[in-house]
Structure 1
């Protein structure tokens, strides 16, 4: 069965634009909400494919239920620009084991990362406090970022939706070793959500994000998101196309 998704909000705001389309994490969050509205279940994982930029404006979202089985899921389409296979949780449960991380550094004691809004409009919705020395286009030694991050107050998302946005909030890890911007769009993003994604007690999350391998025309980034208390909230891996190989 295919149904039309009527979410809130009913359109993608231009303030969520990345470069030439809506921020991929926001698109994924909207598809996760579509799956939840259709099924009443909580997403446990999702794999999204981006075929073209998702433009600002009304959301054209449809949900199709998959066959019953040991891993129930739905397919969500955002027009012709993106699709996602969303796997659903069978119920809330506490984690028996999940990685944790030291979070002793107070994010309020760190300086914020200033990203020009005209370069990445969606950055106006984020508060990013770098922990390590990596900065975009600084020509550093390692293709990785380590930051505290939160959504600005006033934005209403579920824990899983918020995790989806934050997982895709940072630029490619390659930007830490480059000295100039280049188009490196995401073509595939897979995210897994731990129980802590829905039970985080504060807005701040620690985000570790790195490019693990790259060639002349593609790269793969891995991301880990932790709660304020250091619990693993979500993980992601994404494949990106490198459209400009200059440094």
Structure 2
């Protein structure tokens, strides 16, 4: 038995995927799609669902075919799989073979269930600047806008993917968690490159809301001249917490 367990832990595989240029973000493939791809590849490899992911980004991933190296770190009902794009990104994905059950502490956002996103004006991000924005529908709730020089580094929006794009529930959540610009952009009046260098996300069980809309809060928790951390919460249309994320970003300043 010990020999079989050791062999399972050492199990590796390589899968290929193709990133389309229309999913570019700031300089490379959109970080949320990258996170979703790594999480789904790892979970599929061990016939499980992703429940959490911690990813480190070293360089932008460019469009085209890439190879993802998968390594089973720990097998079992709750496992761990390493997913790596050599020289670009690596992630540790926590997986579960058990279907999500009922939540003991259902964190509910009552505001979400009371609002109607279709009645709000859309936020249109320039597709030539961030091509992936063509795939999301964003309806701001608060007054924050990118480069409006506002007082608070926080965006509150309704958001949805325009289509499913073949993603799982957790994959869609991963994309939406990274769909907004850095919270600091709400306080700025001109662009600054602020790439994500580390992102951790956790996915929660939810009931069927009957809607493709999500309520999202995204803010900068702290920043210095060189670094910042963003925190994000994603709720279903009926107010259930669907996913949370925390991102460490590098602030690239000229001069």
Q: TM class, shorter-chain normalised? A: over 0.9
- Select which of 206, 213, 238 maps to 2:215: 206
Structure 1 residue 81, shift from structure 2 partner? 0.2
Q: CA deviation at 1:37?
A: 1.7
TM-score of the two chains, using structure 2 as the length reference: 0.91
Cα deviations across residues 8-40 of structure 1 (Å, max 9, x unaligned)?
A: xx3000011012100110001110111122011
Aligned to 1:55: 62
How many pairs does the alignment contain?
Answer: 242
Range 68-77 or range 226-235, more displaced: 68-77
Q: Answer whether contact 2:180 2:218 (CA < 8 A) is retained.
A: yes
Select 1:27's aligned residue among 8, 15, 34.
Answer: 34
Query: Following the alignment from structure 2 to structure 1, what is the Cα–Cα distance between the partners of residues 89 and 30?
Result: 12
Gaps (5+ residues) in structure 1? none
Give the equivalent residue in structure 2 for 1:89. Answer: 96
The answer (yes or no) to whether the contact 1:139–1:179 under 8 Å persists in 2 is: yes
* Segments ≥4 residues shifted beyond 4 Å: 68-71
Q: Structure 1 residues 245, 218: closer, same or farther in 2, change over 3 A? A: farther
Equivalent residue for 1:45, pick from 52, 56, 62: 52
Is the Cα contact below 8 Å between 1:12 and 1:22 reproduced in 2?
A: yes
What is the Cα deviation at residue 89 of structure 1?
2.0
Aligned to 2:6: none
RMSD: 1.6
1:68-101 deviation line (CA, Å, top 9, x unaligned): 4785210001232001100012412121113111
Task: Look up the match of 1:241.
Answer: 250
- How far, CA to CA, are the matches of 2:164 and 2:92 in structure 1? 29
Aligned to 2:27, the other structure's residue is in SS state coil
Kindly indicate whether residue 10 of structure 2 is the aligned counterpart of residue 3 of structure 1: no
Compared with structure 1, are the counterparts of its residues 182 and 239 closer, same or farther at alpha carbon in structure 2 (3 Å cutoff)?
same
1:194 aligns with 2:197: no
Distance 1:245 1:202, change over 3 A: farther
